Structure 1
Amino acid sequence: MAVSGSAVLEAVLGRIWASPRIVEGFHALCDFGGRFAGTASEARAQAFLAERLSTIAPVRREPVPYRGWTRGPARVTLPDGQALAAHALVRSVATAAAGLTAPLVDLGRGTPVDIARAGKTVRGAIVLVRHEFMLGRDHVHRRRKYDAARAAGAAGFLIAAHLPGVGPVTGSSGDGGAGHIPCVGVGFEEAARLAALDGRPVTLHVDGVFADAEATNLLATIPGTGEALVVLSAHIDGHDLAESAIDNASGLACALAAAEALADVVPDLPRGIEIGLFTIEEWALAGSEAHLATMPEADRARRVLNVNLDSVAGDDTLTALTSGVPGMDAFLRTALAPAGLSVGLHPGFMGNSDHANYLRAGIPAFRLCAGFERPGSALSLLLTRADTRDKVHPHQLKTAASVTAAVLLAACSGAALPPRLDMATIARLTSG
């Protein structure tokens, strides 16, 4: 396609809105299940994504060795012998066959401040904390609570869903190494039962097996006329409680749609696009971390921007989490204006998606997400069995893909981008 200003933008966005492929791709990914890393569900999704990518550009499969883990059963047994359902957090260490019996300490929200305030009561206890809406300004991530609890001497860790009726919450915890403790998610209703037992002993049973494994990142490059590349990323893996529809079948479907719409435009533009579909993201961003850690510095220097799509549907509002990168807000406003599009802009650093690793590598990056600061939206259902496709509307997918395509088109066409980040700026931006 010849480059002719607004006509190109209209054609690119028209392809997204006229085609059923984005919705078909989204449903196909949900059909595979939750895509938990190392499972047949993830393998089926990988094969589908590789085939779709191959219609855009040659696919590179990047192996990522990692410490794999297979989840076993988990439960919490009350003093009367009744067992409550639980779900082991990713990479939880196992308890002994008899379980771990210790006093339960209810820490409420369970922030690091709450844990410090509880003092010596945490040591040797099984602590109970609450999950939070993940896309809010004041969100305290589960791993911060877990790390604070084990540093304070907790023997076990329970995190409860913050909404009723959705069952246990899941997510990652430690890495199973020395000093890590058994940890599970429980439901809202189970937490109410446990809270009534504050100070009394309960027994935690967790099973899981660690083994060396190898994951695979999928990469494809649409070259431009110059050496610079704009990275479009989304994560493949999810959780086995449901379909991981919002998080992150939505991001994958939008990334494919935007890349397909731009595939014959980018070769005539100054900058190319690298598509990075990363796995083991739900394991503390391990896939993108390994990708960047092994990349030669000269290749890092070619990557000038990362557009990361993670949970981009489930609500009609879109926000770019810009982490305060200098010049990013202005770039996004300018890039979206020709299409009459806009997104919310949040400058705070939220390090729970792959854009965080690009920032740490000095590459300007932002995460596009839906439902920021909207706890009443379907985004509140992430990491639960309610993260299913019925929460996502086609127009949300197409809007997110259109925003993505407009940003990529501007970036590849030679628009002024935020400058590369020096070490001092990286430290300042990622300290939150």
Structure 2
Amino acid sequence: MSEEIDIDADDSLERALGRAWSSDRPWNLLTRLTELPNRMGGSPGERRAAELVREEFESIGLADVRTAEFPMARWERGETELAVTDPVERSFRAIALPYSPAGDVEGPIVDVGYGTPEEIEDAGEALDGAIALSSTTTPPGRRFVHRMETFGHVAAAGAAGFLFANHVPGQLPPTGSLRFDGEAAIPGVGVSREAGDWLAEYAERAGRGRLRVEATTTEGTSRNVHGTLGGGDEEIVLLAHYDAHDVGEGALDNGCGVAVVAGAAAILAPLELDCRVRVAAVGCEEVGLIGAEALAEELDLDAVRAVVNVDGAGRFRNLKAYSHASDAIADLAESVGEAFGQPVLDEPDPHPFSDHWPFLRAGVPTLQLHSEREGDERGRGWGHTEADTREKVDPRNLREHAMLAALLVSELTRADPPRVPDDVLRAALADQEYEPGMRAADIWPADWT
């Protein structure tokens, strides 16, 4: 892969890391982004966020910084009402999930537990015309089942509505898209853990409910911002999404990620790099990886050696590296962690639910940088709720993860990881039983018959 890592052999890298140790650049960018009213895909707030990121990239010294616009389906929420109508009459707070269609449905409430395929199958005909209730978490010992998979399965089973109940306490209804870049089949909303507990009880008592959603989906646009460091015919792509759901500040998801990318780019800027590094901030991840898809279409993927997707880094203390079925990427992440005395937790299994996917699907080796703290429950925690706010971020984590991201990218410029063949990727996804869920979510690649 690459030569043994030796920081002392590169004085410019050592100086850049020293400056980064006390840099407020990541924190300041995070602050400017989280001050915006919202950064929902296609919104004026997202447009302003792109301008802020462009200014940041120019101040770092990236070359050829440009904004690339792309079309998308813009979703906007209106009012949402959720009520139990039998055996009691009772209302609950709920928020519409992006790409929910407008609708007014009534029916029995059917609890499908964790929303696994087995639980949905067990519900059988009871789901026909029902309002399905599912948890945001997944049973221990199983890979995490994405919301879109569960939604796709219950909609296919004939449900008329979908209730997504947070497993984290705190009266926090969760959000999250029902599908990628287009209106979903049935209305869906998020409810808090506390509301979900009551709704599960009413489901046991053969309860009925009514769900009313006001929402619109119209043609819109979003934009990517990217520039380059170094030169050459091949490149490493370092990216993060800067959009966020409109219910909170989007500090953890993914203000931290784009702040880490800016911090890493500032470290890399003065270095003599062995190949070009493209630094990108992409829009509309939360509503379908749309910006990443547009970037992948714009670039010559044959010239992209690897992609580093910073989605989740900077949030918590321990850096987690998803190596997405690439042994070479896993080895590189491990070597950087060992060389600098920083634990980097490896997760080798691939998944399709972040901005690396359009590149990985084409065989490009990808590394997703995430983070976790010890003892965390499974799931997003405060993410995708109104509690996703700036005060939960530790500036030290932003700095350290920016430094580690820069080191990983620097090493990748000296490496040439092999492509990930289709059969290897498909086998890894099959091992995790992804195919049924991806088909239900309508994201299984069309050329994978």
Provide the TM-score with structure 2 as the length reference.
Answer: 0.88
Task: Say which of 255, 263, 270 aligns to 2:274.
Answer: 270
**Counterpart of 1:211?**
218
**Counterpart of 1:39?**
43
1:379–1:176: structure 2 CA closer, same or farther, 3 Å change rule?
closer
* Number of residue pairs the alignment of both structures matches: 419
CA contact (8 A) 2:260 2:402 kept: yes
Matches within 5 A, 1:26-425: 26-55=30-59, 56-57=61-62, 58-79=64-85, 80-95=88-103, 99-132=104-137, 138-174=143-179, 180-198=185-203, 199-224=206-231, 226-265=232-271, 268-295=272-299, 299-371=300-372, 374-376=375-377, 380-412=381-413, 414=414, 416-425=415-424
CA distance in 2, matches of 1:370, 1:269: 26
CA distance in 2, matches of 1:39, 1:372: 32
What is the percent sequence identity of the aligned residues?
Answer: 32
Deviation at 1:348, TM superposition (A): 1.4
Runs of 4+ in 1 over 4 A off after TM superposition: 133-137, 175-179, 376-379
CA distance in 2, matches of 1:277, 1:353: 13
Q: Secondary structure at the match of 1:216?
A: strand
1:71–1:355: structure 2 CA closer, same or farther, 3 Å change rule?
same
Deviation at 1:89, TM superposition (A): 0.5
| Structure 2 gap segments, 5+ residues each | 1-6, 433-449
Q: Secondary structure at the match of 1:24?
A: helix
| Structure 1 gap segments, 5+ residues each | none
Provide the TM-score with structure 1 as the length reference.
Answer: 0.91
1:138–1:101: structure 2 CA closer, same or farther, 3 Å change rule?
same
Q: Secondary structure at the match of 1:165?
A: coil
Report Cα offsets for 1:315-355 as digits up to 9, x if no partner: 21111011221311212223444433340101112322111
Report Cα offsets for 1:89-123 as digits up to 9, x if no partner: 0110110xxx2111110111111211011111111
CA distance in 2, matches of 1:59, 1:282: 24
CA contact (8 A) 1:16 1:22 kept: no
Report Cα offsets for 1:211-243 as digits up to 9, x if no partner: 11111011111133x211111010011111111
1:385–1:143: structure 2 CA closer, same or farther, 3 Å change rule?
same
CA contact (8 A) 1:9 1:339 kept: no
CA distance in 1, matches of 2:396, 2:23: 12
CA contact (8 A) 2:320 2:370 kept: yes
CA distance in 1, matches of 2:183, 2:255: 34
